[in-house]
Amino acid sequence: MHTSDFSYDLPKELIAQTPIADRSASRLLVYDRATKQIQDRVFSEMTEFLTPKDVLVRNNTRVLPARLFARRGDTGGGMEFLLLKRIGEKTWECLARPARRALAGREYVVNGELGVRVLGDTGADGGKRIELIYDGIFEEVLDRAGQMPLPPYITERLEDKTRYQTVYALTNGSAAAPTAGLHFTNELLDRVSSQGTDIVDILLHVGLGTFRPVSEANIEDHVMHEEYYEVSPEAAGRVNRARASGGRIVAVGTTSCRTLESVTDSAGVVHAGKDWTGIYITPGYRFRAVDALITNFHLPESTLLMLVSAFMGREEALRCYEHAIEQRYRFFSFGDAMLIL
């Protein structure tokens, strides 16, 4: 298939620049794959579509404030670093901008307690290996020094860092938020649990490559980046028991979906494990784990839109997107959501 098959025109004003005050007051487009019907609802009403037999699977990764604005200690020249992958106690792979100036051996100052030493190139475009220079607890130092790595289509400043975290974020490591989960509040999650639907946590540290449009003309030529995941024996067991009892696996976001599909065998059994996955889901893929999907509206020609198209059909996905545009839904990370049944 051609990458252009997953294109659509989006008015710029529909790109959500800021989160709304009440997470669960986002709009929710509900699509039924059996009837092909569309409903316009509110996210807090998603409990109406769950049953006590179902299991809601969410990604409890926590976004690092991984965007570092630094200056050279000798010349004062500016540099931006975006932490991507930890490869040692204080060593990271990152993106640097402007990368051509981030030469090996150069040192930069972020603030009074964090510095950066460039070690070399990674081979990726703009990719660098760096050493972070600090004393104390890394997470605390980074929280004071770093900014949230918001996608480039968001130009407004985020005043509250917690709004780019899910309320259940736990394990540090993501370079971007699992945005479908941003719509949940603790009160809504309590309602989900009180009606008998099990909530299971798994982990996938989201990489920036997830959100980038595919540059190749044919989708088969695209190479998917890898992301680290963990599925505990307890989580796998609860998901398997739900399916055995006739319940549905409802994935919160494409990250949960990709993790589940990475650890599920051809018989539909979910296995515990921790590893890296580069699973690339496009139309024609046979889903083995996920029965329903909660997701945001995604960038044109992105692997996320391809995954959604694989789940509901490309034509139906684009029809839902056209409906959302006509109804003035808000798009992308801080935007509204879809529930695909």
H helix and E strand count, the chain:
6, 17
Each residue's pLDDT tens digit, 274-301: 999 999 999 999 999 999 999 999 999 9
Q: Looking at 25-39, 85-99, 300-314, which range is the least confident one?
A: 85-99
Dihedral sign, CA of 305, 310, 314, 317? negative
Global pTM reads: 0.91
Q: Decide: 219 and 4 in contact? Cβ < 8 Å.
A: no
Q: Are 3-63+161-340 and 67-145 in the same CATH fold?
A: no
Q: Concatenated DSSP letters for 135-188?
A: -S-HHHHHHHH-B----TT--S--S-GGGGS-TT--EEEESS--GGGGG--HHH
Check residue 5 and report its DSSP letter. Answer: G
Q: What superfamily in CATH does domain 3-63+161-340 come from?
A: QueA-like (3.40.1780.10)
User: In the block, which residue shows the tokens 């990152």?
Assistant: 94
Q: What superfamily in CATH does domain 67-145 come from?
A: QueA-like (2.40.10.240)
Q: Decide: 179 and 296 in contact? Cβ < 8 Å.
A: yes
The rounded distance, in Å, linking the Cα atoms of 227 and 180 is 18
Each residue's pLDDT tens digit, 233-285: 999 999 999 999 999 999 999 999 999 999 999 999 999 999 999 999 999 99
The rounded distance, in Å, linking the Cα atoms of 88 and 93 is 10
The rounded distance, in Å, linking the Cα atoms of 207 and 228 is 9
In this structure, the chain runs to a length of 341
Give the number of C-alpha atoms closer than 13 A to the C-alpha of residue 185, restricted to the C-beta side: 13
Domain boundaries defined on the chain: 3-63+161-340, 67-145
Residue type, 59: N
The rounded distance, in Å, linking the Cα atoms of 226 and 278 is 4
Q: Is the pLDDT of residue 212 over 80?
A: no
Each residue's pLDDT tens digit, 215-227: 899 999 998 888 9
What is residue 73's predicted lDDT score, i.e. its pLDDT?
A: 83
